[in-house]
């Protein structure tokens, strides 16, 4: 027998959402979106560093578990698939469901920070932790390029970071990217603010 608790929870939640007066819903601005950007960065860092790599590495297909492309593409799909489907079927619009072109497929859609930051951060985490042999080589080459000690083969001997430190670094990178996206979206210009302060002093 099925429980009625889940449908009841959905009905009550929907009723609560509908009963909120419009005056209580804040207008999106930099100040209201900034905390969400930081929260989003930490959640995405957890997804991209703690969930995606183990899923790829535990794949029964040897080709997938050892492939750097599988890791990068999995992070792209897992981090952006929900948004893609929500936009594809207009789930966030106050209109009936309709198929529409997601913003990611429109001109310059690939420039969306949400889209490319997931593979970038997954690759950064894999590089720092040597998740796969390819990423260990990438780490060694990068350290060699910035002047680290290299061996006769031209590769640096680099120890991988522990998972927590690498995840923290990825969270900081994502926080910077998403805060910059929020600032760009809401037209915050830090240079103008500094210029105005200099003029008034």
Neighbours of 117 (CB within 10 A): 22
| pLDDT tens digits along 128-169 | 999 999 999 898 888 878 877 767 666 667 889 999 999 999
Q: What confidence category does residue 105 fall into, taking pLDDT thresholds of 50, 70 and 90?
A: confident
Burial per residue of 83-94, b for 16 or more beta-carbon CB atoms within 10 angstroms, e otherwise: bbeebeeeeeee
Q: What is the separation of C-alpha 184 from the centre of its chain, rounded to a whole number of angstroms? A: 17
3-class SS of residue 21: coil
Q: Nearest to residue 116, comparing CAs of 154, 75, 60, 159? A: 75
φ, ψ for residue 26 (rounded to 5)? -70, 150
| pLDDT tens digits along 17-76 | 889 998 888 888 999 999 999 999 999 999 999 999 999 999 998 889 999 999 999 999
pLDDT (0 to 100) of residue 106: 86
In the predicted model, what is the mean pLDDT of residues 93-122? Answer: 88
Given 3-state DSSP classes, what are the helix, strand and coil percentages for the chain, each rounded to the nearest 5? Answer: 70, 0, 30
Neighbours of 75 (CB within 10 A): 28
Would you give the end-to-end CA distance of the chain in angstroms? 73
Neighbours of 163 (CB within 10 A): 15
Q: What confidence category does residue 198 fall into, taking pLDDT thresholds of 50, 70 and 90?
A: very low
Domain boundaries, the chain: 31-185
Q: Is the pLDDT of residue 183 over 80?
A: yes
Q: What confidence category does residue 193 fall into, taking pLDDT thresholds of 50, 70 and 90?
A: low
The two three-digit tokens of residue 165, written as one number: 């430190």
pLDDT (0 to 100) of residue 163: 95
The two three-digit tokens of residue 63, written as one number: 């080709």
pLDDT (0 to 100) of residue 201: 45
Separation between Cα atoms, residue 79 and residue 104, nearest integer Å? 13
pLDDT (0 to 100) of residue 1: 56
CB-hemisphere CA count at 13 Å for 59?
A: 17
Q: Nearest to residue 166, comparing CAs of 18, 37, 49? A: 49
pLDDT (0 to 100) of residue 108: 86
More confident residue, 5 or 177: 177
Q: What confidence category does residue 197 fall into, taking pLDDT thresholds of 50, 70 and 90?
A: very low
């Amino acid at each position: 027998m099925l429980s009625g608790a889940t449908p009841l929870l959905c009905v009550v939640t929907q009723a609560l959402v509908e009963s909120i007066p419009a005056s209580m819903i804040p207008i999106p601005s930099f100040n209201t979106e900034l905390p969400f950007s930081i929260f989003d960065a930490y959640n995405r860092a957890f997804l991209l560093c703690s969930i995606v790599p183990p899923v790829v590495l535990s794949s029964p297909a040897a080709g997938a578990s050892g492939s750097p492309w599988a890791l990068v593409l999995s992070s792209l799909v897992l981090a952006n698939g929900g948004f893609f489907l929500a936009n594809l079927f207009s789930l966030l619009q106050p209109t009936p469901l309709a198929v529409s072109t997601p913003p990611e497929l429109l001109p310059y859609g690939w420039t969306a920070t949400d889209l490319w930051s997931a593979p970038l951060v997954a690759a950064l985490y894999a590089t720092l932790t040597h998740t796969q042999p390819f990423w260990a080589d990438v780490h060694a080459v990068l350290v060699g390029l910035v002047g680290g000690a290299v061996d006769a083969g031209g590769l640096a001997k680099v120890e991988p970071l522990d998972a927590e430190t690498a995840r923290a670094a990825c969270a900081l990178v994502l926080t910077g990217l998403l805060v910059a996206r929020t600032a760009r979206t809401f037209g915050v210009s830090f240079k103008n603010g500094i210029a105005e302060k200099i003029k008034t002093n």
